[in-house]
Structure 1
Amino acid sequence: MNYKIIIIGNTSQSYQLGSIFTRAFQELNILFDTNNTSCNYYAPSMKQSWGKIFFKISGKRPLEWWSFNQKIVNCINEFSPQVVLVTGIFPLTNEVFDICSKIGTKIVNYLTDYPWNPNHRSEFFLSNLKKYDLVISTKTKILSELIKHEVKKVHFLPFAYDPFLCHQPINVSQVEQDLFKADISFIGTGDSERIPFLDAISSSNGLNLKIYGTAWDRLNLKKWQKLPAVFEHEFRLAIYFSKLSLGIVRKRNKDESTMRTFEIAACGGCGIYEDTQEHREILAGYPDYGFFTSPEDLANKCKWLLNNPTEREEMRNTGMKIIIKDTNTYTSRLKTILDLCCE
């Protein structure tokens, strides 16, 4: 592909979405440049208390935001890309959109969150939406809201998996196996919306329950081992050595599927997923007992599955067969994005 692309996204760690797309660029031999939106990279003021205060009063924009946007403008002007790809909720100045329009560059947002969620809401980002040539959402439920917000072109494109990050673990020691073994595990950020599901599971006695992620300490969660967030090799271990991995969506974020929808099976795990239309479509052919409709249904199915290893193995193998395909990778998602830009 004879493309030049600039990505505006978090490329600070290998598991960030910006980094995932850079690997897709490399796989397709696309010439690219990056603008790393990690505050640790471009906004050192955020390490100071006064910087955090400034961020809050300036509408979730750090002190360096203006100069960083000017750097983006200069990068676009010098690199002359066909496409600028922005990942997630990151506000841009009007000058960024103006330079794209001037030189005929398509500017696209791959939107993985619900921008009207109070936790994510940025008025400056919301004002950007109608200026994008294309907004791609991983959530079918918000397409109508984006259209009402006068976005020029919207398209649903689900999450995917990155084979570099998501595969069965290799070179695993016995110590690691013992450390990550679990009956049931969940990987995700602490959220009160998830507590009823987790509490229903913990009503059963004698289970090895592990939860990985930040912000769980502030929540009253019984019988679950609260463990730090896991990435890369440890992420794969946590999924692979758990008898069941949970796929719980967040309704406040308008989720019907998540990154875990793809990542659990790609890492060789056995997933049990919240019963949504997107999950049913993405995981077409998955056993009915691999979906749950309520906390009680989840608890009952987990109890049954833990006592039926043959059915668990069927779920694991079926999930891998459904998910581990080239069409479910981020490289495939990138191809779709570029095709949409050409329409």
Structure 2
Amino acid sequence: MKLLYLGELMLGATSLQRAEAFGRIPGVELIGLATGTGVVGRRISLYNRLRWKLRWPIDDLRLNESLVAAASRERPEVVVVDNSKVIRRDTLATLRRLGVRCLAYYTPDDVMGRHNLSWTLKASLPDWDVFFTTKTFNVAELAAAGVRNVVLMGKAFDADIHRPVSPQEAGPDYERFDLVFAGAFEKERCDSINALAEAGFSVVVYGDAHARWSSGRLHSRATLREPRFAHLYTRALHHGKIALCFLRKLNRDRITQRTMEIAAMGRPMLAEKTDEHDVHFVDGSEYQGFSSNSELIAKAREMLDDDERRAAIGRHALARCRSSGYSSDERALQMIEAIRSNLRSSANAPTVHSLVQV
């Protein structure tokens, strides 16, 4: 199978991890086509931000042209578009004329949220042969919007990047802090971290949107550092005795990619308690759940007071990741099987597959 993959193929991007996993599957010939500039967290112009607010993002990298040119040159059987919001319907029609048999879309976002669903993507929803989402609640929403074949995929970790590291590899800050968090600013997250700092815990935050974390919002006793990516991100998550896992309210998260990454590193995880967290990890033995800031503080204190139990939570989480098939390689195999199933199918009847991978 020749597969043309359009995604952010830069170090630290989960789309690169998915592409590399596809490339390791026997029988898959991968052709990568990058959507970005190669810089994670690159600055976006004011004009582009305004266009995105209006849900009409600009194809400033000419991805539609690049996709057609690559398909003309390579003649792939399958095209996978990873989370681009600018691919037009006429581009998809052209790809079909060029012999592409399966058009697949992957999104890790709450794709039906207004902040994620561009008008261009919304118009194309009925045109995809397979549509992969990681959000359980998006399955029915996508089907109602006309998507013919929705496949629910679980979140994943990259076994090469997300792994336990030694104190020597993590550096002098190994478990220097009580708690560590890496991620974007949200008011609820900041409030929780401030509550921990006020309670006397030491917390380090590796935060994108650095100015939002620092502009008078984050408690003075919390340490703020620039974001880390790929292997540096893994080392950073070892700088706290406990790794915090907050969910993004804007995206209606019930589980997140960070959930899998923290667990795969063998870090003791203190995460917001949800039904989907509880499906993937056992509360109390594979992660520790909390539902309020007071419970967060109490659970953090319990974990810090019991070194043996804290370490066991990390070990059990890592074992669960490995035994339950949460890796990028396992997820890629599941996606390829869904694509192969579509290729084998002679009918094009509307179907919705809810394949909950736990």
Into which bin does the TM-score normalised by the smaller protein fall? 0.7 to 0.9
Secondary structure of the 1:177 match is coil
Partner of 2:278: 280
Partner of 2:355: none
Cα displacement (A) at 1:288 = 8.0
2:212 aligns with one of 207, 218, 229: 218
Partner of 1:238: 236
Deviates more, 1:210-219 or 1:143-152: 210-219
Q: How does 1:291-306 map to 2 (within 5 A)?
A: 291-306=289-304
Q: How does 1:99-248 map to 2 (within 5 A)?
A: 99-102=94-97, 103-169=99-165, 172=168, 176-178=171-173, 181-205=176-200, 207-219=201-213, 220-222=217-219, 223-248=221-246
Whole-angstrom distance in 1 between the partners of 2:160 and 2:287? 30
Secondary structure of the 2:173 match is helix
Partner of 1:309: 307
- The aligned amino acid for 1:172 is Q
Whole-angstrom distance in 2 between the partners of 1:22 and 1:123? 26
Secondary structure of the 1:172 match is helix
Gaps of at least 5 residues in structure 1 are none
- The aligned amino acid for 1:18 is S
2:17 aligns with one of 2, 16, 20: 20
Secondary structure of the 2:199 match is coil
Cα displacement (A) at 1:173 = 5.8
Report if aligned partners of 2:205, 2:223 keep a CA contact under 8 Å in 1: yes
Whole-angstrom distance in 2 between the partners of 1:159 and 1:93? 27
Partner of 1:78: 73
- The aligned amino acid for 1:71 is S
- CA gap of 1:309–1:112, structure 2 versus 1, over 3 A, is same
Whole-angstrom distance in 1 between the partners of 2:132 and 2:212? 33
Cα displacement (A) at 1:10 = 0.3
Whole-angstrom distance in 1 between the partners of 2:149 and 2:312? 40
Report if aligned partners of 1:114, 1:253 keep a CA contact under 8 Å in 2: yes
Query: How many pairs does the alignment contain?
Result: 333
RMSD over aligned Cα, in angstroms? 2.7
Whole-angstrom distance in 1 between the partners of 2:316 and 2:34? 37
Secondary structure of the 1:60 match is coil
**Greater helix content:** 1
Partner of 2:30: 32
Give me the TM-score of the superposition, normalised by structure 2: 0.84
Whole-angstrom distance in 2 between the partners of 1:172 and 1:128? 49
Whole-angstrom distance in 2 between the partners of 1:39 and 1:129? 26
- The aligned amino acid for 1:240 is H
Deviates more, 1:104-113 or 1:91-100: 91-100
Whole-angstrom distance in 2 between the partners of 1:19 and 1:261? 19
Structure of greater relative contact order (alpha carbons < 8 Å, 6+ residues apart): 2
Report if aligned partners of 2:125, 2:147 keep a CA contact under 8 Å in 1: yes
Identity %: 20
- CA gap of 1:299–1:288, structure 2 versus 1, over 3 A, is farther
Gaps of at least 5 residues in structure 2 are 342-358
Partner of 2:92: 97
- CA gap of 1:50–1:192, structure 2 versus 1, over 3 A, is closer
